[in-house]
Structure 1
């Protein structure tokens, strides 16, 4: 397919997503099934265009002064891809499979319009109803912070120290462009261009043998800052597919007791194979059965309970750009209730002197500092660990890391703009001995 044909396909896909109100991933999959002649490179390029349009949905419509699929695609080419008017016009020449030529209004918009004067939620590409939350946290910096959350994320990997060492795995994956992450001592990063396909990491021997896992650096840091130690009793209360469970297991070096559970046993399905591949032998998976509590035998005895809390996922907008436009205020209310409940459950499991590591992949204050404040008010025997003490877990990088984060008395906030990770909030709450 020519670049112009790919552009036409992207416009059609955006129109289908609008009309059918379906997730972008589903629309792309259905398009690929219906257009089997398109090669993998074509599908990757078209997907890149679609995701970039969704990342810049509001700002692209603003600069084009029109909110249509075509206008958003053209605006994205200007804002995200940096194409000038003539470059866009060359793609839209009206030839076979190409978009129709630019109208006078489109050419004028591409040439003269900017984001100057755009409201913050438009310039930052986020739903207007979230502006109060982001303004309360970031103030005048919210547009810059939100714009960073709209950029494409790299592919981050975590080296499993039960199976390998970072320098050796980095050398093995050098052909993929893997370099060390700036903060995590276990991380590797593969930068991805606008049209780049995700490398087939699952086909690499390092992955097959369990020496490396896909995990954003922010998620790696959340596990590291929990301070899990060999010999401890650790519970991953919202384990899901097990990403942080695996990280905790490596930190524990196969010593101690690690329990992974989740309120939704379907989320646990992949964890068994992942634990086996990673060489983890001190973990047990407890899936809920009916109304029975899978942790009924554990009362106030855990050294650490990790709460990777259900949240709105605002910190992962780089990877799920269409999710922000489908999000509704009611979803936040539900998540706040879920978080309070799981924190209260965690409190019952922690022994005196033990701790809760509360983690969200959200940047919203309501899910982070406000949730921690409410928990501490209801459980005065718990105290948040000071940010400087948390950051000390990164040894020689502690001061620089702390300066890059958004610290509060309740915990640390990581953002794509500041730490080049997904948005994560980490609070470690210690119970009085």
Structure 2
């Protein structure tokens, strides 16, 4: 078997066998197939696509390239959740304690962010002392004792995927549905979950800006899950404007705390109840998503969700006092209001542009080793559909110095569109994908 023959075969639109996909992925992982040949194969896949069986084979070969986390010692059905990313995407911070409070074990492997703001790990590290470098033994023990734990992904998880993704990033092959789907699902499968809930974003702040493409990706991932025996559900959700009002690490933590108290933004609360409802249902702790959502609302109302968050932060070494005293979280020395230049209705908030504003302030990282400033970011005061008067505050920029904030201020104003007519805010939850027809 030769790599060039498999490149030619896929270039010509033919279907690769399981053995051929194994040869390519394991050969590349082991250094026997060079970057230039794998780049050519990835481009052939980008142009020609893969069928469902090929995509499953690709997923499982990436899983087999590294370690698989064994969560069998955790009692109950383990349900993982994954978001395709967005701006102000604080759902995991809310969902982890909320779903645990409903009796579902939450064993979450998360990563650091590369882009607008930090990832879940970075956000949690806004709590002084919070530790995510847990051993698998401690991770499992904490879930069994407390019901929830979050740790960073190990370097040994799907190494072939990491190597292939780095190659795709510089060869214009990132936006291939089979390659995206297999990349995401390989990590979820290797992380040991019994079932997976996917939050697939669509809109200006999402990777999949077109809803049609987001739906295609969701269906591909759900089919992968079903074909390998993992119950998988996908929710298509809006990211045409930031989720909630906070964009920035400690700012998002504060918003998550407010949401767990029952005082959070309506859209963030709605999405967390939708995703959480699916998680609780898949874990067989409720007969339907509606019943599951009622359980989650009760956990917010009786304070148990917030109590789980408190105990979770303390268990992982964080300063749990900040849950009740959020001012203990990192804060920026400068808060600059962005005033509206005119009267009107907010008709658009470019989520990606607002995310880049936060990144410019220091809330995100351009390279994986870049430091993050936990205290900076953007705190919105208006969302799509809101009426705003001239001089009224559109947002507050949290920054380290006024000069930097003034620079970002102009960039932020360019991300806001005002109109003269009332508009309806975008629908948050677009579609639920629970099943797909096998080929």
Larger radius of gyration: 1
- Output the TM-score relative to the length of structure 1: 0.23
Q: Point out which structure has higher relative CO (alpha carbons under 8 A, 6+ apart).
A: 2
- Output the TM-score relative to the length of structure 2: 0.23
